[in-house]
């Protein structure tokens, strides 16, 4: 897939919004050297083309009553159970993130819990479908790195 | 920090759309704009709200490959520190955390191609046992943490 044409100003806007999605168009314009309507137009275009998926406040679960953040790999899920497992995952609000990966660990879950007992109550629901291997998330060393133009520079010769 | 129902309503709105104006949030939760602003500031100060992020579509900007890679059996403090600094220095490593229990470092990596990913992974191979997988999709993508849908929390608070 070829990236849509983003120029340096688009990238400057993307950088600012990845770091603070609440910046006003006026402030954003000031930082990238554009008028507020011109910035707004570019942001709208990047939203329309799906470059920007959404804007969200990232909240700290440990500050709102969930001291435990678990990282759980769900292994050896039978192919015919995948749809049911996906459904189950989506129905549990404590699972705040889930990715589906290649290999024998089918799903990787991020689970927030009020206690170890609470975490256990969530994990037992997966017993019918496979094995869970769970660890507790300790320190985060990189959290949502801002993507810059240089990271995505297409190497045409490598194609 | 103790959050009341109105704080939770504000958090819900901001998790769904971080660019909403204070006036619009106020309209939705039944408060004046300055009152919303005051509550938001309080939650920012207490780092209940860590950041406001624009989530970009990695594929759409030319990063179609996403990997979840685990690094196990890292021996010694020196190597642990090296792994952390390598992870922090590689722009394609978008997330890195330590998981206790499995005692491993988990990296989420985006790349322009499989070759690009391989070059990144090579930087870690000297430090432990690497297990790498490709992310196929994301069935739950940073879902909203909401008091109404989390009865476990509500019970605990009542």
How much of chain A, in percent, has pLDDT values that exceed 90? 79
Per-residue pLDDT of chain B (158 residues; tens, 9 = 90+): 789 999 999 999 999 999 999 999 999 999 999 999 999 999 999 999 999 999 999 999 999 999 999 999 998 889 999 999 999 999 999 999 999 977 799 999 999 999 999 999 999 999 999 999 999 999 999 999 988 777 666 655 44
Is any Cβ of chain B less than 8 angstroms from the Cβ of A87?
A: no
pLDDT of A10 reads 96
pLDDT of A125 reads 95
pLDDT of A25 reads 97
Query: How does pLDDT run across A103-122, given as a tens digit for each residue?
Result: 777 899 999 999 999 999 99
- ipTM for the predicted complex: 0.90
pLDDT of A1 reads 47
**Euclidean distance between CA atoms B63 and B77, whole angstroms:** 33
**Euclidean distance between CA atoms A11 and A148, whole angstroms:** 7
pLDDT of B155 reads 58
**Euclidean distance between CA atoms B82 and B96, whole angstroms:** 13
Among A152, A155, A158, pick the best mutation site for testing chain B contact (most B Cβ within 10 A): A152
CB-CB: which of B62, B103, B150 is closest to A152? B62
Task: Compute the average pLDDT of residues A141-147.
Answer: 92
The verdict on a CB contact (< 8 Å) between B55 and A55 is yes
Query: How does pLDDT run across A59-113, given as a tens digit for each residue?
Result: 999 999 999 999 999 998 888 888 999 999 999 999 999 999 987 778 999 999 9
Task: Tell me the three-class secondary structure of chain B, residue by residue.
Answer: CCCCHHHHHHHHHHHHCCCCCHHHHHHHHCCCHHHHHHHHHHHHHCCCEEEEEEEECCHHHCCCEEEEEEEECCCCHHHHHHHHHHHHHCCCEEEEEEEECCCEEEEEEEECCHHHHHHHHHCCHHHCEEEEEEEEEEEECCCCCCHHHCHHHHHHHC
**Euclidean distance between CA atoms B132 and B124, whole angstroms:** 11
Query: How does pLDDT run across A123-133, given as a tens digit for each residue?
Result: 999 999 989 99
CB-CB: which of A54, A135, A158 is closest to B100? A135
pLDDT of B101 reads 79
What's this model's pTM, rounded to 2 decimal places?
Answer: 0.90
CB-CB: which of A53, A98, A136 is closest to B55? A53
pLDDT of A155 reads 54
Q: Which of B2, B6, B51, B19 is nearest to B148 (CA)?
A: B6
The verdict on a CB contact (< 8 Å) between A147 and B52 is no
């Amino acid at each position: 897939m070829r990236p849509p044409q983003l120029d340096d100003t688009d990238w400057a806007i993307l950088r600012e919004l990845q770091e603070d999605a609440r910046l006003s168009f006026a402030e954003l314009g000031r930082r990238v050297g554009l008028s507020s309507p011109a910035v707004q137009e570019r942001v709208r275009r990047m939203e329309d083309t799906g470059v920007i998926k959404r804007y969200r406040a990232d909240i700290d679960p440990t500050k709102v009553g969930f001291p435990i953040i678990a990282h759980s790999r769900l292994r050896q899920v039978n192919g015919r159970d995948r749809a049911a497992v996906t459904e189950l995952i989506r129905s549990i609000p404590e699972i705040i993130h889930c990715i589906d990966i290649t290999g024998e660990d089918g799903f990787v879950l991020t689970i927030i819990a009020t206690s170890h007992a609470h975490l256990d109550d969530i994990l037992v629901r997966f017993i019918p479908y496979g094995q869970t291997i769970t660890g507790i998330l300790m320190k985060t060393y990189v959290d949502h790195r801002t993507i810059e133009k240089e990271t995505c520079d297409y190497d045409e010769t490598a194609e | 920090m103790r959050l009341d129902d109105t704080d939770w309503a504000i958090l819900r709105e901001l998790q769904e759309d971080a660019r909403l104006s204070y006036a619009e949030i106020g309209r939705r939760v039944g408060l004046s704009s300055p009152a919303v602003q005051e509550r938001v500031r309080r939650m920012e100060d207490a780092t209940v709200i860590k950041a406001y992020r624009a989530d970009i579509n990695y594929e759409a900007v030319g990063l179609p490959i996403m990997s979840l890679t685990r690094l196990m059996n890292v021996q010694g403090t020196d190597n642990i520190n090296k792994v952390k600094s390598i992870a922090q220095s590689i722009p394609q490593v978008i997330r890195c955390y330590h998981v206790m229990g499995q005692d491993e470092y988990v990296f989420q990596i985006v790349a322009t191609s499989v070759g690009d990913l391989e070059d990144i992974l090579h930087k870690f191979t000297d430090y432990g046992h690497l297990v790498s997988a490709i992310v196929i999709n994301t069935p739950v993508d940073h879902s909203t943490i909401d008091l109404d849908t989390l009865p476990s929390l509500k019970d605990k608070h009542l």
